[in-house]
Amino acid sequence: MAYSDKVLDHYENPRNVGTLDKNDPNVGTGMVGAPACGDVMKLMIKVNDAGIIEDAKFKTYGCGSAIASSSLVTEWLKGKTIDEAYAIKNSAIAEELALPPVKIHCSVLAEDAIKAAVADIKAKQLAKEAA
Amino acid sequence: MSLSHFELFGLSPKFNIELATLESNYRKIQSESHPDRFVTAAPVEKLQSMQLATLANEAYQILKNPANRAKYLLELQGIDAIAETNTAMPLDFLMQQMDWRESLEDAKSAKDINGLENLLHEMQQEAKLLQNELGLLIDDKQDYVSATDATRKLIFIDKVYADINKAIEQLEATL
Protein backbone atom coordinates (compact mmCIF):
# COMPACT_ATOMS: atom_id res chain seq x y z
CA MET A 1 0.00 0.00 0.00
CA ALA A 2 1.24 3.46 -0.80
CA TYR A 3 1.66 5.81 2.12
CA SER A 4 1.42 9.56 1.67
CA ASP A 5 4.60 11.64 2.04
CA LYS A 6 3.37 13.01 5.35
CA VAL A 7 2.76 9.53 6.73
CA LEU A 8 6.21 8.45 5.59
CA ASP A 9 7.79 11.53 7.14
CA HIS A 10 6.19 10.86 10.54
CA TYR A 11 6.84 7.15 10.24
CA GLU A 12 10.52 7.60 9.45
CA ASN A 13 11.08 10.49 11.86
CA PRO A 14 8.47 10.08 14.55
CA ARG A 15 8.18 13.14 16.81
CA ASN A 16 7.99 12.91 20.57
CA VAL A 17 8.44 9.20 21.02
CA GLY A 18 8.77 8.21 24.66
CA THR A 19 7.04 8.36 27.98
CA LEU A 20 6.44 10.85 30.75
CA ASP A 21 6.28 10.08 34.45
CA LYS A 22 2.89 8.45 34.83
CA ASN A 23 2.88 9.12 38.57
CA ASP A 24 3.21 12.88 38.04
CA PRO A 25 -0.17 14.41 38.99
CA ASN A 26 0.14 16.70 35.96
CA VAL A 27 0.55 13.83 33.51
CA GLY A 28 -2.42 12.14 31.86
CA THR A 29 -2.15 8.81 30.08
CA GLY A 30 -4.39 7.49 27.33
CA MET A 31 -4.15 3.93 26.16
CA VAL A 32 -6.17 2.45 23.33
CA GLY A 33 -6.01 -0.45 20.93
CA ALA A 34 -7.49 -1.61 17.65
CA PRO A 35 -7.65 -5.34 16.98
CA ALA A 36 -8.12 -4.88 13.23
CA CYS A 37 -4.41 -4.06 12.86
CA GLY A 38 -3.25 -5.16 16.31
CA ASP A 39 -2.32 -1.56 17.08
CA VAL A 40 -1.60 -0.40 20.62
CA MET A 41 -1.18 3.30 21.31
CA LYS A 42 -0.08 5.06 24.48
CA LEU A 43 -0.30 8.83 24.62
CA MET A 44 0.92 10.89 27.58
CA ILE A 45 0.32 14.60 28.10
CA LYS A 46 1.80 16.95 30.69
CA VAL A 47 -0.52 19.78 31.63
CA ASN A 48 0.54 22.91 33.52
CA ASP A 49 -1.54 24.68 36.16
CA ALA A 50 -3.08 26.96 33.54
CA GLY A 51 -4.50 23.89 31.79
CA ILE A 52 -2.10 24.12 28.84
CA ILE A 53 -0.45 21.01 27.45
CA GLU A 54 3.29 21.54 27.84
CA ASP A 55 4.53 18.23 26.61
CA ALA A 56 3.23 15.18 24.81
CA LYS A 57 4.83 11.81 24.19
CA PHE A 58 3.63 8.67 22.51
CA LYS A 59 4.48 5.05 22.06
CA THR A 60 2.67 3.14 19.36
CA TYR A 61 3.05 -0.37 18.08
CA GLY A 62 1.25 -0.77 14.82
CA CYS A 63 1.23 0.11 11.18
CA GLY A 64 2.78 3.22 9.64
CA SER A 65 -0.51 5.12 9.66
CA ALA A 66 -1.05 4.49 13.37
CA ILE A 67 2.47 5.67 14.17
CA ALA A 68 2.08 8.74 11.96
CA SER A 69 -1.32 9.59 13.49
CA SER A 70 0.06 9.50 17.02
CA SER A 71 3.23 11.36 16.06
CA LEU A 72 1.18 14.10 14.42
CA VAL A 73 -1.16 14.58 17.38
CA THR A 74 1.74 14.98 19.80
CA GLU A 75 2.82 17.96 17.67
CA TRP A 76 -0.69 19.37 17.60
CA LEU A 77 -1.26 18.93 21.32
CA LYS A 78 1.60 21.06 22.59
CA GLY A 79 0.37 24.52 23.54
CA LYS A 80 -3.29 23.57 23.40
CA THR A 81 -5.67 23.62 26.37
CA ILE A 82 -7.06 20.25 27.35
CA ASP A 83 -10.48 21.30 26.07
CA GLU A 84 -9.01 22.20 22.68
CA ALA A 85 -7.21 18.87 22.69
CA TYR A 86 -10.45 17.08 23.46
CA ALA A 87 -12.06 18.71 20.45
CA ILE A 88 -9.53 17.31 17.94
CA LYS A 89 -11.39 15.16 15.44
CA ASN A 90 -10.07 12.09 13.69
CA SER A 91 -11.20 13.55 10.36
CA ALA A 92 -8.65 16.36 10.78
CA ILE A 93 -5.88 13.84 11.43
CA ALA A 94 -6.93 11.70 8.46
CA GLU A 95 -7.08 14.74 6.22
CA GLU A 96 -3.68 16.09 7.27
CA LEU A 97 -2.04 12.71 6.65
CA ALA A 98 -4.14 11.90 3.56
CA LEU A 99 -5.04 8.52 5.02
CA PRO A 100 -6.80 6.11 2.67
CA PRO A 101 -10.24 4.84 3.77
CA VAL A 102 -8.84 1.52 5.05
CA LYS A 103 -6.55 3.45 7.43
CA ILE A 104 -9.11 5.88 8.82
CA HIS A 105 -9.35 3.73 11.94
CA CYS A 106 -5.75 4.70 12.78
CA SER A 107 -6.88 8.31 13.12
CA VAL A 108 -9.85 7.16 15.21
CA LEU A 109 -7.36 5.46 17.47
CA ALA A 110 -5.36 8.69 17.86
CA GLU A 111 -8.49 10.72 18.62
CA ASP A 112 -9.58 8.19 21.22
CA ALA A 113 -6.08 8.20 22.76
CA ILE A 114 -6.33 11.99 23.22
CA LYS A 115 -9.76 11.66 24.79
CA ALA A 116 -8.53 8.95 27.13
CA ALA A 117 -5.48 11.04 28.15
CA VAL A 118 -7.65 14.09 28.80
CA ALA A 119 -10.11 12.00 30.82
CA ASP A 120 -7.20 10.68 32.86
CA ILE A 121 -5.79 14.13 33.62
CA LYS A 122 -9.27 15.41 34.55
CA ALA A 123 -9.74 12.49 36.91
CA LYS A 124 -6.37 13.26 38.48
CA GLN A 125 -7.28 16.95 38.88
CA LEU A 126 -10.57 16.03 40.55
CA ALA A 127 -8.76 13.70 42.90
CA LYS A 128 -6.31 16.49 43.71
CA GLU A 129 -9.11 18.98 44.46
CA ALA A 130 -10.91 16.46 46.63
CA ALA A 131 -7.74 15.78 48.62
CA MET B 1 -27.52 -20.42 -1.22
CA SER B 2 -27.49 -18.80 2.15
CA LEU B 3 -25.96 -21.64 4.11
CA SER B 4 -23.78 -20.56 6.98
CA HIS B 5 -20.15 -21.61 6.82
CA PHE B 6 -20.90 -24.18 9.49
CA GLU B 7 -23.84 -25.69 7.61
CA LEU B 8 -21.73 -25.92 4.48
CA PHE B 9 -19.51 -28.44 6.28
CA GLY B 10 -22.30 -30.15 8.23
CA LEU B 11 -21.19 -28.61 11.53
CA SER B 12 -23.24 -27.00 14.26
CA PRO B 13 -22.43 -23.33 14.84
CA LYS B 14 -20.15 -23.72 17.83
CA PHE B 15 -16.72 -22.48 18.82
CA ASN B 16 -15.53 -25.97 19.72
CA ILE B 17 -15.91 -27.84 16.46
CA GLU B 18 -14.62 -31.18 15.26
CA LEU B 19 -11.63 -30.10 13.24
CA ALA B 20 -11.43 -33.55 11.65
CA THR B 21 -15.00 -33.21 10.36
CA LEU B 22 -14.25 -29.74 9.04
CA GLU B 23 -11.16 -31.03 7.29
CA SER B 24 -12.76 -34.09 5.71
CA ASN B 25 -15.92 -32.28 4.57
CA TYR B 26 -13.81 -29.49 3.12
CA ARG B 27 -11.73 -32.01 1.15
CA LYS B 28 -14.94 -33.68 -0.02
CA ILE B 29 -16.40 -30.43 -1.37
CA GLN B 30 -13.08 -29.49 -2.96
CA SER B 31 -12.86 -32.80 -4.78
CA GLU B 32 -16.53 -32.79 -5.81
CA SER B 33 -16.27 -29.29 -7.21
CA HIS B 34 -12.86 -29.79 -8.83
CA PRO B 35 -12.71 -28.27 -12.34
CA ASP B 36 -11.46 -31.58 -13.78
CA ARG B 37 -14.88 -33.06 -13.11
CA PHE B 38 -16.61 -30.33 -15.06
CA VAL B 39 -14.55 -30.27 -18.24
CA THR B 40 -17.49 -31.36 -20.38
CA ALA B 41 -20.21 -29.86 -18.17
CA ALA B 42 -22.56 -27.06 -19.17
CA PRO B 43 -21.21 -23.52 -18.52
CA VAL B 44 -23.72 -22.93 -15.77
CA GLU B 45 -22.59 -26.05 -13.97
CA LYS B 46 -18.96 -25.08 -14.38
CA LEU B 47 -19.71 -21.72 -12.84
CA GLN B 48 -21.67 -23.21 -9.96
CA SER B 49 -18.94 -25.70 -9.14
CA MET B 50 -16.36 -22.93 -9.21
CA GLN B 51 -18.44 -20.75 -6.91
CA LEU B 52 -18.88 -23.64 -4.51
CA ALA B 53 -15.13 -24.29 -4.48
CA THR B 54 -14.42 -20.62 -3.76
CA LEU B 55 -17.04 -20.43 -1.03
CA ALA B 56 -15.78 -23.63 0.59
CA ASN B 57 -12.24 -22.30 0.56
CA GLU B 58 -13.25 -19.01 2.20
CA ALA B 59 -15.43 -20.75 4.76
CA TYR B 60 -12.69 -23.25 5.58
CA GLN B 61 -10.11 -20.48 6.17
CA ILE B 62 -12.50 -18.77 8.55
CA LEU B 63 -13.56 -21.81 10.51
CA LYS B 64 -10.19 -23.43 10.95
CA ASN B 65 -8.67 -20.35 12.65
CA PRO B 66 -10.02 -19.94 16.21
CA ALA B 67 -10.00 -16.12 16.19
CA ASN B 68 -11.72 -15.97 12.80
CA ARG B 69 -14.20 -18.63 13.89
CA ALA B 70 -15.12 -16.66 17.02
CA LYS B 71 -15.40 -13.46 14.98
CA TYR B 72 -17.67 -15.22 12.50
CA LEU B 73 -19.87 -16.70 15.24
CA LEU B 74 -20.30 -13.19 16.63
CA GLU B 75 -21.17 -11.90 13.15
CA LEU B 76 -23.94 -14.50 13.02
CA GLN B 77 -25.21 -12.81 16.20
CA GLY B 78 -25.01 -9.41 14.52
CA ILE B 79 -21.87 -8.34 16.40
CA ASP B 80 -18.84 -6.77 14.70
CA ALA B 81 -16.05 -7.73 17.09
CA ILE B 82 -13.48 -5.51 15.45
CA ALA B 83 -15.63 -2.44 14.85
CA GLU B 84 -13.28 0.44 14.10
CA THR B 85 -15.07 2.77 16.46
CA ASN B 86 -14.35 0.44 19.37
CA THR B 87 -10.85 1.23 20.64
CA ALA B 88 -11.46 0.71 24.32
CA MET B 89 -9.75 -2.37 25.64
CA PRO B 90 -9.15 -3.36 29.26
CA LEU B 91 -6.24 -1.25 30.46
CA ASP B 92 -4.34 -4.17 31.94
CA PHE B 93 -4.57 -5.99 28.63
CA LEU B 94 -3.21 -2.99 26.72
CA MET B 95 -0.36 -2.63 29.24
CA GLN B 96 0.39 -6.29 28.72
CA GLN B 97 0.37 -5.75 24.95
CA MET B 98 2.86 -2.90 25.33
CA ASP B 99 5.10 -5.12 27.49
CA TRP B 100 5.02 -7.92 24.95
CA ARG B 101 5.71 -5.52 22.11
CA GLU B 102 8.65 -4.05 24.05
CA SER B 103 10.03 -7.51 24.83
CA LEU B 104 9.70 -8.36 21.14
CA GLU B 105 11.60 -5.22 20.11
CA ASP B 106 14.31 -5.84 22.73
CA ALA B 107 14.80 -9.49 21.81
CA LYS B 108 14.83 -8.55 18.13
CA SER B 109 17.56 -5.95 18.51
CA ALA B 110 19.56 -8.24 20.83
CA LYS B 111 19.18 -11.01 18.20
CA ASP B 112 17.98 -13.19 21.06
CA ILE B 113 16.27 -16.14 19.38
CA ASN B 114 15.77 -17.94 22.69
CA GLY B 115 14.02 -14.91 24.10
CA LEU B 116 11.80 -14.73 21.04
CA GLU B 117 10.95 -18.40 21.32
CA ASN B 118 10.03 -17.97 24.98
CA LEU B 119 7.79 -15.10 24.01
CA LEU B 120 6.24 -17.21 21.28
CA HIS B 121 5.53 -19.92 23.82
CA GLU B 122 3.92 -17.38 26.13
CA MET B 123 1.64 -16.25 23.29
CA GLN B 124 0.64 -19.85 22.62
CA GLN B 125 -0.33 -20.26 26.27
CA GLU B 126 -2.30 -17.03 26.26
CA ALA B 127 -4.07 -18.02 23.06
CA LYS B 128 -4.97 -21.39 24.52
CA LEU B 129 -6.46 -19.80 27.63
CA LEU B 130 -8.54 -17.44 25.51
CA GLN B 131 -9.72 -20.29 23.29
CA ASN B 132 -10.87 -22.27 26.32
CA GLU B 133 -12.67 -19.18 27.55
CA LEU B 134 -14.32 -18.66 24.16
CA GLY B 135 -15.62 -22.24 24.08
CA LEU B 136 -17.22 -21.66 27.46
CA LEU B 137 -18.59 -18.20 26.67
CA ILE B 138 -20.01 -18.96 23.22
CA ASP B 139 -21.02 -22.62 23.40
CA ASP B 140 -22.15 -22.93 27.00
CA LYS B 141 -23.10 -19.49 28.24
CA GLN B 142 -24.06 -17.66 25.02
CA ASP B 143 -22.40 -14.65 26.64
CA TYR B 144 -21.61 -12.76 23.45
CA VAL B 145 -20.55 -9.55 25.17
CA SER B 146 -17.72 -11.24 27.07
CA ALA B 147 -17.00 -13.35 23.99
CA THR B 148 -16.47 -10.15 21.99
CA ASP B 149 -13.82 -9.00 24.49
CA ALA B 150 -12.10 -12.38 24.42
CA THR B 151 -12.16 -12.43 20.61
CA ARG B 152 -10.59 -8.98 20.43
CA LYS B 153 -7.86 -10.15 22.79
CA LEU B 154 -7.25 -13.27 20.74
CA ILE B 155 -6.89 -11.22 17.56
CA PHE B 156 -4.26 -9.08 19.33
CA ILE B 157 -2.40 -12.16 20.57
CA ASP B 158 -2.42 -13.71 17.09
CA LYS B 159 -0.92 -10.52 15.71
CA VAL B 160 1.91 -10.49 18.26
CA TYR B 161 2.42 -14.20 17.62
CA ALA B 162 2.75 -13.62 13.88
CA ASP B 163 5.16 -10.73 14.43
CA ILE B 164 7.36 -12.83 16.75
CA ASN B 165 7.42 -15.60 14.18
CA LYS B 166 8.41 -13.15 11.50
CA ALA B 167 11.23 -11.81 13.71
CA ILE B 168 12.50 -15.35 14.36
CA GLU B 169 12.48 -16.15 10.65
CA GLN B 170 14.36 -12.97 9.83
CA LEU B 171 16.98 -13.69 12.49
CA GLU B 172 17.41 -17.26 11.37
CA ALA B 173 17.84 -16.14 7.80
CA THR B 174 20.80 -13.97 8.81
CA LEU B 175 22.56 -16.70 10.81
Q: How far is B131 from chain A (nearest CA, A)?
A: 16
What Å distances lie between residue A109 and A13, A91, B44, B70, B82, CA to CA? 20, 11, 47, 23, 13
pLDDT digits (tens, 9 = 90+) for A13-36: 999 999 999 899 999 999 999 887
* Per-residue pLDDT at B80: 94
pLDDT of B41 above 90: no
Instruction: Map out the domains of chain B as residue ranges.
Output: 5-64, 91-173
| Residue of chain A minimizing CA distance to B158 | A38
pLDDT of B1 above 70: no
CB–CB contact B87 A108 (8 Å): yes
Beta strands in B74-153, from DSSP E residues, in sequence order: none
CB–CB contact A32 B88 (8 Å): yes
CB–CB contact A35 B82 (8 Å): yes
DSSP B31-54: HHT-GGGGTTS-HHHHHHHHHHHH
| Number of neighbours of residue A75 by Cβ within 10 angstroms | 12
| Residue of chain B minimizing CA distance to A33 | B87
At residue A29, φ and ψ (nearest 5 deg) are -120, 135
Closest CA to B89 of A129, A33, A59, A77: A33
Contact B32/B8 with Cβ under 8 angstroms?
A: no
CB pairs under 8 A between A and B: 53
When pLDDT is averaged across residues A52-58 and rounded to a whole number, the result is: 97
At residue A52, φ and ψ (nearest 5 deg) are -100, 140
Cβ burial, residue A122 (10 Å; 0-12/13-18/19+): middle
Architecture label for domain B91-173: Up-down Bundle (1.20)
* Per-residue pLDDT at B64: 96
CB–CB contact B87 A112 (8 Å): yes
Beta bridge partners of A45: A28, A56
Q: How far is residue A9's CA from residue B105's CA, in Å, rounded to a whole number?
A: 22
* Per-residue pLDDT at A131: 78
Pick B82's closest partner by Cβ from A36, A42, A112. A36
Q: Which residues of A are catalytic?
A: 37, 106
Contact A109/B87 with Cβ under 8 angstroms?
A: yes
Categorize the per-residue pLDDT at B74 as very low, low, confident or very high, splitting at 50, 70 and 90. very high
Q: How far is B48 from chain A (nearest CA, A)?
A: 32
Task: Give chain A positions within 8 Å (CB) of B101.
Answer: 40, 61
Q: What percent of chain B clears pLDDT 90, i.e. is strictly above it? A: 85
- Residues B106-145 as b/e (b if ≥16 CB within 10 A, e otherwise) read ebbeeebeebbeebbebbeebbeebbebbbbbbbeeeebe
This complex has an ipTM of: 0.80
Contact A47/A25 with Cβ under 8 angstroms?
A: no
At residue B173, φ and ψ (nearest 5 deg) are -70, -25
Task: Give chain B positions within 8 Å (CB) of A67.
Answer: none
At the top level of CATH, which class does the domain B5-64 belong to?
Answer: mainly alpha
The DSSP symbol for A4 reads P
Question: Residue B150: in which H helix or E strand, if any?
Answer: helix B144-174
pLDDT of A79 above 80: yes
CB–CB contact A108 B88 (8 Å): no
Q: What is residue A18's three-state secondary structure?
A: coil
